[in-house]
Amino acid sequence: MFAKEGESVMVKCWPDYTYAIANAGWDSAYFSNTSFGNLDGDVWDGDYDDTSKANWINKEDLLVQDAATPVYVTHKVLGGVTYAFNKWEYPLMFGFGGSWEFTQGTNSALDGYALWTKLGITF
């Protein structure tokens, strides 16, 4: 059994009115190191004809809960077989196995399968 507690995600610090989506006709050559021009006219507001009102990406616009992982519980069943060839001068071992991980209910985890082989030699 594997269990993971749900995560809570929050934005600790976000500077409002700093980031936005640039207008399609925005020219980065217009800006210098000391002058940032009229940002309200250069930020895209969703309407290509009216750029008078900027659509800034502020803290309340960030969807942080979509990044959080809810609680989940999974179970895994494992099986394997190994055989050792001990009669040789250098004993050889060969094995194979598999596993199945499954969930119950409404988990955010995925069901999974795994197969493996192993080969070993002793000297």
What is the pLDDT confidence band of residue 94, given thresholds at 50, 70 and 90? Answer: very high
Q: Express each pLDDT in 47-71 by its tens digit.
A: 544 444 556 788 888 888 888 888 8
Q: Express each pLDDT in 67-86 by its tens digit.
A: 888 888 889 999 999 999 98
Short-list 123, 121, 103, 101, CA closest to 113: 101
Q: What is the pLDDT of residue 31?
A: 57
Domain layout of the chain by residue ranges: 72-121
| 44 close to 22: Cβ distance less than 8 angstroms | yes
What is the pLDDT confidence band of residue 33, given thresholds at 50, 70 and 90? Answer: very low
Dump strand ranges (E) for the chain: 2-4, 19-20, 56-57, 72-85, 92-103, 112-121
What is the pLDDT confidence band of residue 117, given thresholds at 50, 70 and 90? Answer: very high
Spatial separation of the C-alpha atoms in residues 119 and 97, rounded to whole Å = 12
The reply to whether the predicted model has a pTM over 0.75 is: no
Burial of 35 (0-12, 13-18, 19+ CB in 10 A): exposed
Instruction: Count CA atoms closer than 13 A to 109's CA, side-chain side.
Output: 20
pLDDT over 80 (residue 8) = yes
